[in-house]
Amino acid sequence: MNPIALILLFPLLGFALNGTIGHKLPKGIAPWIGTLFIFLPFVITLGQWDILSNDVEATIKWDAYTFFNLDGIIFKAAFTLDRLSIWMTLIITGIGTLIHLYSISYMDHDPNAAKFFSFLNFFVFNMLLLVLGANFLMLFFGWEGVGLCSYLLIGFWYQNASYGKAARKAFIMNRIGDLGLLLGMFLIIKNYGSLEYSDVLPAIAQGTGGSVLLTSIAILLFIGAMGKSAQIPLFTWLPDAMAGPTPVSALIHAATMVTAGIYLVIRCEALYALAPIANEFILWIGLATALIGALIGLRQNDIKKVLAYSTVSQLGFMFVALGVGAYTTALFHVTTHAFFKALLFLGAGSVIHGVHDRQDITQMGGLKKMMPLTYITFLIGTLAISGFPLLSGFFSKDEILASVFHHNIVAYIVLVIAALLTATYMFRLLFLTFHGEFRGTDYALKDVHESNWKMTTPLVVLAVLSILGGVLNLPHYLLHTDGFLASWLRPTFLIFENPAHTDITTEIILIGVAISIFLFGFIYSRSRYITKNMSPEQSTAGIEKVLSNKFYIDEFYQKAIVRPIEFLGDILFALVDTLLLYGLTFSVHPILRFIGRFNRKIQNGNIEYYLLYMVGAIALLLGLNLLFA
Amino acid sequence: MSTPESYIPILIQLAFSIGFVALALYLSQLLGPKKKTKQKLEVFECGIESQGDARFPVSVKYFLSAILFVLFDVEVIFFYPYAVNFRELGWEGFVAVLTFVGFFLAGFIYVWKKGALEWER
Amino acid sequence: MIAIAIVFFGALALLFIGLNKEEKSLKLAAASILGLAGISIFAESKGIINVDAFFTWVPAGMITFNPTAQVIAAILTVMAMIIINLMPAVSRKGMDVIALMMFSLCGGLLMIGAQHLVVLFLGIEILSIPLFVLAGSEKDDIYGNEASLKYFLMGAFSTAIFLLGATFLYGGSGTMYYHEILLRLSFAEHFGEFPILMQTGLVLVSVGLLFKVSAVPFHFWSPDVYEGSPNRIAAFMAIIVKIAGFAAFAQLLTAFVPMQTWYSNWMLPISAITVLAGNIMALAQQSYKRMLAYSSISHAGYLLLFLLQPIQENFQVLGVYLLSYGLGTAVLFYLFDKYATSQDKTVGIFTGIAYTNRFDAMALIVATLTVAGIPSTIGFIAKYQLFTAAFPTAMWGVLLALVGSAISISYYFKPFRVLFKTESDVQPSIHFTWKYVCLLGVTLSMVILGLFPVLLNWIF
């Protein structure tokens, strides 16, 4: 059997098993099924590593079947495992396994655990479909599938109405982006007559298609990426998505699904390399997202919301890297971010679990004594994301900053500010949660407990990965050659990515800036929350109020988009529904009744009449034929 | 041969025969002597005095027997052409007729087993 | 064509074995005989087995199955199997009902393979005569008796018309073989005019077949007869007669390809009026079964569109449509039979089954989507292929058929309104019986073939 088929089959099988008979199995079996069926694809994928690393050109292909053939445009389910998709697959299944393991104990008390695991498995299946697909169609299937799973999982505790609303919001925001992706796909079909990467991308690389066409396709695809990867203006769903169980936030809304947009752009490297306007667009959208996400993150008091905005901001970083053409760097950051953000979310989950399902950091503080392991791992995550030297985040972020520095100095300065804010809000979160005095009112510190091994093992593994992740792509100035990831990915790029090698002086300056960013964030937060021992701000005035209310973006959307649409809807309801449709329906009714009565008269049950009608019809047929003969 | 005119002799013959029959019936009624007495107008039923109406429901068993009779009667009809062509059709014809009779026999046995031939049941 | 023999002798054997047995006990045997027959036809169509040597005594060319016709014959047999399997047996001694259904099926198979007008006539009669009896097989049911008599009288009438037409065709061409008729017509086409005998004959023969497939205005029997007949017989008539009728009709029309523009002139209005009348009248029905009857009339209208284009053995489209129609209708009849009571035959019978019996609700949804031709089911593929095939020759017909399909949604989806209404707290209970396995297979195949139409290429 084709390894790709196996990779895809196991999560699907897990989904089917848990979804159908999972709740009937003895308690505790379903979660392990779910975990095992994610772990197996990970092992299988690892087994394929050698094949790809031995031969630069090697890809593993699987043409499953053809959906249909429409005027010569063939739509087929084809998959390919190349150097890019194996990387993504390893992240998805590897981190997926850890998070599944973690969820076993996290969802222990939930009666619907089997359903939860079946959704998680289905999510992984769709994500694999997305990255393994050899054409835009498969990508789109996976794209929609992860959207669906995200909807199902955000609204997993659907008894809470606001969770259901959050799920809907995520779905709708994603749909807006999907429209862009679909339009982009239509343009591709129209101009290239195929959806296969292997047809379209080489054609683009060889210069087929004008710059207007390429730019439109690139921007339309990017709109899809904006929805999925939570970029301005479609980012507001991601913080709300924290309504789902925490492992979901870790898996979907930090480590894997939100990186789908980045994967899409990297996959279409040939397209974006030839569409400079689209690149500029991506760059500035990414910058704005990075900055605004970080700013909002400064004044959030929900432990998961802070992390969510941090995710938004970090995704902005990745798109900035894509905007300046540093695809390897973006993927590198995707990888390290997957490590430390999954770690942070799982740590947050452990905290939430420990304090009995409370998320408000104003009610925490001083947890470090009670939850030492969680604290240490969370600290490592915080250090990594803030760019502590030699941890994974330091390398990846530094690379992004370096590539932006060569591209555009203004963008560099903005990004530095965003990075600075990142360090600040992350340490704020850390200090408020684990340091200082315990501020909880409705529960005692002694009730707080450390989580069990199933939850802490993933934390430790991810912490180790967060520390060592930088090894995957050590910078040029250390190795004097390309990093591992850079040389690994090079064969998959159609248009050669030209890495900017800086001279050592600039590099030292940049590293200096990066370290001082980290130090500033650390010292500022420390002085505020440890030395001055400030409690979390109940921001009431000025810029702080704006920040804690997330720039009023949701309210703005409500007023500027939702209200007018609702108004339009009301008008349309009055005009089209009430007047036209009801009018039509009610005018159809008498006609139907008339026909019915007529029919009842004809279909009266007497066969002498039936025969008469038949003879009449025959006579008519023959008569007319003879007449017109 | 196949022009419509060539059918005219048939039409003439048809008209003539229908006309003759109609005429004969009409004339016999017109010319024949009529003596109507009560006894003459009574329904003649083999000398037995008639009772009740002729239109009363007959037991379905009569119909069943009748239709079975007709079926096997029709079967026999097919033997005549076969008998005439017995030699020409040879073994192949013999096998065909045997199959035909076999199927009929199967039907007959089924009817028998089913109890359709038992009058009292 | 060993399948006809299998079905016939199987039915004969069942008659004798089942003389004093309950019908239930031998239902499975009947179904397996039909399954065997279906498999044998399918194997023949794929060239896996070849039994022509056994049938040398069949006069040459009178019965010939081309591979696609064989697949349709296999579908017909499998449909009969599904109907016999799904629909509940009566608790009565004797196998006469099922045996008669199988005899009738023999007629249907003969019709599909007929290459000669007399064989076609024999097929129609063998198909019909058992049905006349079957319609009244519930002897104590007065409506069944009425249906039986009506069907018999009208059927006899249509047969007479058919025979008259066949006579004219013989008079016009001097032959009853399809291929020879085609030859004569090709000559006639060369000289520019078709004999009037042929035109009249074709009209009359078509009327006979249009009656069988219940096209307007020869449809009057079908709502009345379906309503009066026992449910499984109604399902049998709706599916088997229609499949056999259309396959035979298409076979017959292969002989009349030169006259295609001529006959599509008058067949197109029939198709259009069938689509419209069938759909609109279905909309006005209260009884779900009567609605199914009118829906089957409207399907006849869609199928007639296929016959309008020159048929050169491209039966694949027809076969896919007949398959999808058969699967969907069989499930709907089964569910109607399961839930209908003597008082209530409206869509209200399906109230709340989404809660009381989820599996049936799923089957109902899938089958409804299939007959309505909604994507993700085979019904969509079938309708799409049919309309695309018919579009070049009958554009207006296809447009009208699309309107008709739109109307049809409003009555097909009626059960959905009540499906999710709860009236009781009955706990769902599913006992996995053989019937459920069958229903599951049928339902799944509708979805799977709809999602992976590639598999259809493998079947045909």
Decide if C269 contacts C155 (C-beta within 8 A): no
Residue matched to tokens 């009292």:
B120
Residue matched to tokens 């003539």:
B16
CA distance C45 to C66: 8
What values do phi and psi take at B56, rounded to 5?
A: -125, 155
CA distance B44 to B50: 8
Q: In this complex, how many residue pairs, one in chain A and one in chain C, have their CB atoms less than 8 Å apart? A: 68
Chain mean pLDDT for chain A: 82
CA distance A372 to A472: 29
Task: Return the residue in A618, A620, A622, A627 with the most chain C beta carbons within 10 A, the one to mutate for interface testing.
Answer: A618
What is residue C288's predicted lDDT score, i.e. its pLDDT?
A: 92
Q: Which of C86, C116, C75, C93 is nearest to C18 (CA)?
A: C93
Q: How far is CA A305 from CA A20, A242, A361, A426, A434, in A?
A: 34, 7, 10, 12, 17
DSSP string covering A94-116: HHHHHHHHHHHHHTTT-TTHHHH
Q: Does C51 touch chain B (CB under 8 A)?
A: no
Confidence of residue A629 (pLDDT cuts 50, 70, 90): low
DSSP string covering A171-199: HHHHHHHHHHHHHHHHHHHHHHS--BHHH
Record: contact B113-C19, CB cut-off 8 A: yes
What is residue A355's predicted lDDT score, i.e. its pLDDT?
A: 78
Residue in C with minimal Cα distance to A616: C217
Task: Return the residue in C220, C409, C449, C452 with the most chain A beta carbons within 10 A, the one to mutate for interface testing.
Answer: C220
Confidence of residue A303 (pLDDT cuts 50, 70, 90): confident
Q: In this complex, how many residue pairs, one in chain B and one in chain C, have their CB atoms less than 8 Å apart? A: 12
What is residue C102's predicted lDDT score, i.e. its pLDDT?
A: 95
Interface of chain A toward chain C, CB-CB under 8 angstroms: 65-68, 592-593, 595-596, 599, 602-603, 605, 607, 610-611, 613-614, 616-618, 621-622, 624-626, 629
Contacts of residue B113 in chain C, CB cutoff 8 Å?
16, 19
What's the whole-number mean pLDDT along residues C436-446?
90
What's the whole-number mean pLDDT along residues C417-446?
79
Contacts of residue A66 in chain C, CB cutoff 8 Å?
454
Decide if A290 contacts A320 (C-beta within 8 A): yes
Tokens coding A426: 């992350």
Residue A193: what residue type?
G
Decide if C362 contacts C430 (C-beta within 8 A): no
CA distance C70 to C319: 10
What's the whole-number mean pLDDT along residues A243-268?
84
Predicted model pTM: 0.70
Nearest to C224 among A605, A614, A622 (CB): A605
Nearest to A610 among C154, C200, C281 (CB): C154
What values do phi and psi take at A81, rounded to 5?
A: -110, 100
Residue C362: what residue type?
M
Q: Which of C238, C248, C256 is nearest to C72 (CA)?
A: C248
Record: contact C281-A593, CB cut-off 8 A: no
Contacts of residue C266 in chain A, CB cutoff 8 Å?
621, 624-625
CA distance A476 to A498: 13
What is residue A533's predicted lDDT score, i.e. its pLDDT?
A: 64
Burial status of residue A245 (CB atoms within 10 A of its CB: 0-12, 13-18, 19 or more): buried
Give the 3-state secondary structure of residue A74: strand
Residue matched to tokens 């296969």:
A196
Q: Which of A384, A273, A388, A254 is nearest to A326 (CA)?
A: A273
Record: contact B106-C57, CB cut-off 8 A: no
Spans of all domains in chain B: 1-33, 57-121
In CATH terms, B57-121 corresponds, of 1.20.58.1610, 1.10.287.3510, 1.10.10.10, 3.30.930.10, to 1.20.58.1610
Confidence of residue A536 (pLDDT cuts 50, 70, 90): low
Count how many Cα atoms sit within 13 Å of the Cα of residue A245 in the half-sphere of its side chain.
Answer: 28
Burial status of residue C443 (CB atoms within 10 A of its CB: 0-12, 13-18, 19 or more): buried
What's the whole-number mean pLDDT along residues A492-506?
69
Higher pLDDT, C248 or B118: C248
What values do phi and psi take at C285, rounded to 5?
A: -85, 145
Report the interhelical angle of C142-173 vs C117-135 (nearest 10°).
Answer: 170
Spans of all domains in chain C: 2-459
What's the whole-number mean pLDDT along residues B96-118?
88
- The H-assigned helical ranges of A274-302 are 276-297
Q: What percent of chain C has pLDDT over 70?
A: 97
Q: Calculate ∠ Cα A327-A329-A335, nearest 5°.
A: 105
Calculate the CA dihedral of residues A99, A101, A104, A106 and round it to 10 degrees: -50
Contacts of residue B106 in chain C, CB cutoff 8 Å?
12, 16
Strands (E), C63-209: none
Contacts of residue C150 in chain A, CB cutoff 8 Å?
607, 610
Beta bridge partners of A63: A78
Record: contact B110-C16, CB cut-off 8 A: yes
Record: contact B113-C12, CB cut-off 8 A: no
Give the 3-state secondary structure of residue C284: coil
Record: contact B114-C12, CB cut-off 8 A: no
Residue C57 to chain B, least CA–CA distance (Å): 9
CA distance C243 to C373: 18
Residue A164 to chain C, least CA–CA distance (Å): 21
Decide if C287 contacts C342 (C-beta within 8 A): no
Query: Looking at the predicted structure, is the pLDDT value of residue A397 above 90?
Result: no
Contacts of residue C284 in chain A, CB cutoff 8 Å?
592-593, 595-596, 599
Q: Does C43 touch chain A (CB under 8 A)?
A: no
Query: Looking at the predicted structure, is the pLDDT value of residue A52 above 60?
Result: yes
Query: Looking at the predicted structure, is the pLDDT value of residue A222 above 60?
Result: yes
Least confident range from A251-265, A450-464, C417-431: namely: C417-431
Confidence of residue C312 (pLDDT cuts 50, 70, 90): low
Confidence of residue A453 (pLDDT cuts 50, 70, 90): confident
CA distance A517 to A422: 9
Residue in C with minimal Cα distance to B107: C12
What's the whole-number mean pLDDT along residues A273-300?
85
Query: Looking at the predicted structure, is the pLDDT value of residue B48 above 70?
Result: yes
What is residue A542's predicted lDDT score, i.e. its pLDDT?
A: 64
Compute how many other C-beta atoms are within 10 angstroms of the C-beta atom of residue A592.
14
Query: Looking at the predicted structure, is the pLDDT value of residue A207 above 70?
Result: yes
Spans of all domains in chain A: 1-181+231-267, 282-548, 557-627
Contacts of residue C15 in chain B, CB cutoff 8 Å?
110
Higher pLDDT, C55 or A349: A349
Count how many Cα atoms sit within 13 Å of the Cα of residue A543 in the half-sphere of its side chain.
Answer: 4
Give the 3-state secondary structure of residue A156: coil
Q: Assess whether chains A and B touch, using the rule of 3 or more C-beta pairs within 8 angstroms.
A: no
What's the whole-number mean pLDDT along residues C219-223?
91
Size of chain B, expressed as the number of residues it contains: 121
Decide if B98 contacts B78 (C-beta within 8 A): no
Residue A150 to chain C, least CA–CA distance (Å): 23
Contacts of residue C452 in chain A, CB cutoff 8 Å?
65, 67
What values do phi and psi take at A610, rounded to 5?
A: -55, -45
Per-residue buried b or exposed e for C285-304, using 16+ beta carbons within 10 Å of the residue's own CB: bebbbbbbbbbbbbbbbbbb
Nearest to A603 among C203, C223, C283 (CB): C223
What is residue C135's predicted lDDT score, i.e. its pLDDT?
A: 93
Query: Looking at the predicted structure, is the pLDDT value of residue C419 above 90?
Result: no
Q: What percent of chain A has pLDDT over 90?
A: 1
Q: Calculate ∠ Cα C321-C323-C329, nearest 5°.
A: 100
Least confident range from A219-228, A511-520, C67-76, C371-380: namely: A511-520
Nearest to B92 among C15, C57, C94 (CB): C57
Decide if A503 contacts A405 (C-beta within 8 A): no
Higher pLDDT, A541 or B110: B110
Q: Which of C115, C107, C120, C76 is nearest to C11 (CA)?
A: C107
Residues 49-108 of B with CB under 8 A from C: 92, 96, 106
Residues 6+ apart with CB under 8 A from B28: none
DSSP string covering C355-398: HH-HHHHHHHHHHHHHHHT-TTSHHHHHHHHHHHHHTTT-HHHH
Task: Return the residue in C8, C9, C16, C106 with the most chain B beta carbons within 10 A, the one to mutate for interface testing.
Answer: C16
Residue C19 to chain B, least CA–CA distance (Å): 7
Task: Return the residue in A610, A611, A612, A615 with the most chain C beta carbons within 10 A, the one to mutate for interface testing.
Answer: A610
What's the whole-number mean pLDDT along residues A528-550?
66
Confidence of residue C154 (pLDDT cuts 50, 70, 90): very high
What is residue C321's predicted lDDT score, i.e. its pLDDT?
A: 94
Higher pLDDT, A564 or B27: B27
Query: Looking at the predicted structure, is the pLDDT value of residue C271 above 90?
Result: yes
What is residue A424's predicted lDDT score, i.e. its pLDDT?
A: 84
Query: Looking at the predicted structure, is the pLDDT value of residue B13 above 80?
Result: yes
Compute how many other C-beta atoms are within 10 angstroms of the C-beta atom of residue A150.
27
Upstream peptide bond of C217 is cis (omega within 30 degrees of 0): yes
